[in-house]
Every structure is written in C-alpha cells, then in structure tokens.
Structure 1
C-alpha cells in the first residue's frame, strides 16, 4: 500500500449493515459521553490520579474494534485508553468504578485510568509506558499463530509512541516472524506538547512500513468508514496469514495531553475548528442519515441511552467502597495451578 489518505470513496469492503452502523455509533457516542463526563468530574476533584481523555478520536477505536472478537483477538492500549477499552467491550460501569478507585472496578480499584485491563475481553490493558503495547502484541500474535486459531493482535500507540525503539523493534519482529498483527498509530498531532510535524521524521508514520516490508497506509480519523475499511483489510490480511499492517490514523485530540493541561502549545482556535469541521460523530451522523441508512431518531435515541449509562456508572462508582488494606497484597502474583 502507498501512504495515501484514505477516504470513503476508496472503500472496497461491503458497507456495514444497519445493525453494525448502530453498534458503531453506540460505541463512539458512549466513548464521547464517558470522556466528557470525566472531564467534568476531574475538574470537580472527584477522580484521583491522572486522566488522559480520548474525545475526538472515537472513530479510530470503533473502526478498528468492529472487526475484532473476544475469543481470539487481543488489544494493547496506551495511557489514553478509555476509548479502546469501551470499543473492545469492557464494561462501562466497571471502568468508571476503576477510574474512581473503587473496589468494584474492573481491576478492583488498583489500576485507575492508565491501567484498565480485562483479559476476558481481550484487553491486555491500557499502559502508562509510551510504546509499551507493541511488544506485548508481538507475543500475543505469535501465540495466535502457534495456535492456528486465526487470532489477531492489535496495538494502538500515538505519534510519540511511533518514535520509540520498542515500536520500531516490534514492527521489525512482526515482519520477520510474519505475525498476525495490526499496529495502529493514532496521530493526533502532539506527543504530549511536541508537534508531530516536527518530531516525526519523513512526515508520515505509515510510510515507515516500507522499511519493514509490510503493508501500511494513512487514513482520515474523522471518517469512521475510512478507518473501518483500512482496519478490515488489515485484520483479514492478518487472519489469512498475510502478515502485519501499520495503519496511521490522523485525528484530533479535543482535550489536553492530560486533564489540567493548559494547551498553550496549540493555536487558540485549533480545538474549536476541529470540533466544528472534523468531528467524527457529526460526520458519521451526516453520512448515515444522508444515505438513509439510519434516522436521526435512531441516533438521538443512542445519545440518550449513552447519557443514562454514564450517569448510572458515575452514581454507582461514587457509592461503591474503595479497596481495603486487606486488598493490598492481592492481585500481585498469578497462580498457574
């Protein structure tokens, strides 16, 4: 593949049916509502620790994870992992409780925002180490290859993570071992506060695929269908023994690197322009209603459903107890018996 920004006009996979479209929108809306609520809760002092929000990037997680299943496929995330977790099917209420540091959390309140994991859903975990996910996915993909079950390993990382040695070594290893792996570089323009246009050599993450002899392309992250198409081809390639793929998703980050980031490194109107002109949820609504695949009433109903779910998740999290001193030494070691 060449490094061409894919749009829906280039789509070759069958268009998702109405049920799949509703599911994709539900994922994206749930992520957006979840993140916006966390933005408010963190500002109110309700949440301990750091929080890195995914708002604006929803089409990437939804478009990729639409092709994955729980039984075979595994995913490694980043410090900005809420969207990936929700798209992979991790329980929203258990996630919220985890972020609030409650014992009912998916990791019993011990991991918080940056370490949400659910192995039963194939979520190896969010990761506070930049570039920490790709090596894990090489191991998972190798296991799937040995088992011969058609499983795929997917690693998400940012433009900053694309420059890490762990990521480049993983791309090389996946190529040499011909692993069923998909590497998704979410280029939101900033590695913390450093512009990708300055820090990414060559100006393209996807173009690096050629150095490892694997498939690679860039897609427009405001277009769910473009991500869905590229990811579908990459997952199908991996399942059929065609080897790994590197996908660069170019998208927008609506909030700072972390909550409390003043974002003085961005133009004053940058986020407003992104929200008004490149919002993936707005574009999805226009695409599916314009094609008469879904109605505004159906989409609005999902909006209300997501709002209720997140409201309930917050209420239940705030009412749940925190871990106790007796929990300190549990979940430390794995028992293989």
Structure 2
C-alpha cells in the first residue's frame, strides 16, 4: 500500500509517499481503508523536528493525525465496530507511528473511531476530526463557555478557528473573529458577529471579552489582558514562548491562560457528530490535495492565508 512518511526532520520536501506493507489489526484494533486525511499543526511540528523527544530519531515516521474511511477488518474482541462501516478517527498524537492517517490503510484501537455522520463526505469528515474536537474541547471543557458571553476567536480563519466560530455562535454567544480582512465574508457566514482584521487591530484596542480562544500562540500576555472580570482564555497554539506565557499566567488563577492536549476518543467523536447532524457545524475546506502532493499541502499550510483546512485525498476520485 501507499503511505506518506517523514524520511528525516526538515522542510516539506522530506515527505515521501512510500510502498509499505499493509498492517493487520490485532486484538481490540480496527483496520481502516483511508479515503481522506488532513494537515494539522501537529503533523507539521513533528515533521519539522520540534517533537523529537516524542517522535525519536528513527525513520520513517508516519504522518497524518486524522482520517476518514471504511473499516476493512476488525481484530479479536472488537465490539460495536463492524467491517464496511464508514468511520472517522485519529492515531494517538503522543505515540510514534510508522504509518499515520495519510496512508491507504491504518490500524488504530477500536475506541479511536466512531461512525461518520450520515451524508458527510470523507473529505469534509477528515477536515473536521481534529479541528472540530479541538474547538469543542476548548469551548466546552476548558473555558466552559456559557450562552450570551462575548467571545474572541484569534486565528479564526484556520481549521480550529472556523469550527470555534460556529460552535460559539450555535451556543448563542457574541462572536468576534480576528483574522485577515479578506476572510470576513466567510466568517460572517459561519456566525461571526464581528470580524476584525488582525493586520490593523492591536490587542489594546479591543475587548473586554468573557472568553478568548487563541490558535496563534503569540502575544498571549497582551490578549490575556483583554479579559473581562471572570474571563477565561485558552490557547491551542503551542510553542516554547507560548508555554512560558502559560506558566507565567498561573498567578492569575481562574484568569490564567489555559491549554490542553487534544486526544479525541470515540465518545468525543460522537459528540462532534451530534453538532454536525444538528447543523451547528459544517466543514470548511480550503483545498484538496492528492496523496502524492502531500509536500505541497504542508507548504500551503505553513504559508498561511487559507480559510479552513487542507485535506489529503487518499482515495482517487475524491
């Protein structure tokens, strides 16, 4: 089978689509015939070598955190998942994989997949797995968003940002999106009440907000200062400076900068499916790339300026 793999740490050109043996599911595992995956920040920082302490120095390393496809086979003891079922899911983000979601087949524990919502294409499903569950975790579990609150989504045009705008709007919040001005029409259509151009808007001229969701990871202390009394802030844009800002903010107690490590299981994916089925959340896809062009997909992700996700079409014809 074909699988995209990291052959050394570095720029997108270290990615190769290699011929590898098709894996077989063990006890408690499922084999998924992958139809689509997507590019996430996690994939990019692993490829760049920023997580060497976790991914190690043995190559090749699989790439692709998420996937959507069809269950091809199940291992012993698997219940509730059957061959032929359309599913979406993730590989474990904190484990090293030689084959990730950007491959024709992937094996994962059965509790890491759930049924794809009816009527949702595989490319749309793949675009929502990580982005949607990250946004849902940030809003629901980290800052405990309440209807009627004023919310700032920083980096609102990205995958997590577009999902967070929709989920916050569905909850009945006033949503301010901070993004490129040219994305204002799309973000307003997703539910943003106000769109601010990040190039001409400084943190000291906006707010206060009850909740700030940051996907960028810079100037965190400045934005934390725009919280209202009782406000909460969470960031998913992790870097060394961001981690330092998070640590320094603990002196503010409940108004500290929060973060988390997303690791969605089947229960979270079923929750996400409910939001898709209700119409509260829809996919936003910037571009679909064939598996062979995965280096170009990573280049486009790093270049920025997109709205929504870059999706990898693993199956021909998607």
Give TM-score, length-normalised by structure 1.
0.30
Say which structure is richer in strand: 2
Give TM-score, length-normalised by structure 2.
0.32
Point out which structure has higher relative CO (alpha carbons under 8 A, 6+ apart): 1
